[in-house]
Amino acid sequence: MRDEPSADGESPPDRESRAVSEAHPPSTEEGSEWVSRLHIRETTAIDLERVPSVLGGPEASWLGERVADPAPDVRGFLGDLELHPRGLGPLFFRKSALIGLGRPRRIAAGWLVPIEWRAATLAPLFPVFAGTLRLRADRLELDGHYAPPGGALGQVADQALLRLAARWTARWLMRRIGAQLR
């Protein structure tokens, strides 16, 4: 299967990473049945030999403080996610988040790592994300789904603005992960 770029120039995930991200979708509790897909590709050099220790080790101080694991085979961290809006210079927003990293799994071209995050406080006002990081020697990809807050109204807001916020936040986190894997 060959990756074809989408309208935004990003390639779709392969079948293997799609299966992993679909295994951990955001909750479908009442009011959260509206889910948006997020796929981002960041071209960067990755030292694949560092993946097990950086993303699979017991600690990740660069990500945040270790907290109770949210699920079996998922390590929990409390850290800050940042939103850097394009075109606004040094202005950025920071939000405390619970971040979960699953066990890295070796694939032919690199690694797959389940990842999730949700706001640590005021959780109903912020999106919940679940997906997969795909790491290759020349790129880092994030593929998954997030549930915008607010049901149908949140979905409208997502189409207008929240989608950009989700992409900017995810891209910031990917760059941070990429910096740890160089």
Residue 140 has a CB neighbour count (10 Å cut-off) of: 22
Domains of the chain plus CATH, in order, are: 33-180 (3.30.530)
Q: Classify strands 74-83 and 65-71 as parallel, antiparallel or unpaired.
A: antiparallel
What number of other Cβ atoms are within 10 A of residue 45's Cβ? 11
| Spatial separation of the C-alpha atoms in residues 147 and 22, rounded to whole Å | 14
Tell me whether residue 144 is exposed, middle or buried, using C-beta atoms within 10 angstroms of its C-beta: 0 to 12, 13 to 18, 19 or more: buried
What phi and psi, each to the nearest 5 degrees, are found at residue 87? 85, 0
Chain center to CA of 176: 12
pTM: 0.77
Tens of pLDDT, residue by residue, the chain (182 residues): 333 333 333 344 444 333 333 334 444 444 446 788 999 999 999 999 999 999 998 888 899 999 988 888 899 999 998 877 766 667 678 888 999 999 999 999 999 999 999 988 877 778 889 999 999 999 999 999 988 887 778 777 777 777 888 888 899 899 999 999 99
Half-sphere exposure in the Cβ direction for 64 (13 Å, CA)? 21
Residue 7 has a pLDDT of 38
In this predicted structure, what is the pLDDT of residue 5?
39
Measured between alpha carbons, how far is 70 from 168 in angstroms, rounded to an integer? 25
Question: What is the residue whose two structure tokens read 């909750």?
Answer: 27
Q: How many CB atoms lie within 10 A of CB 99?
A: 24
The pLDDT score that the predictor gives to residue 51 is 96
| 3-state DSSP percent of the chain in helix, strand and coil, to 5 | 25, 35, 35
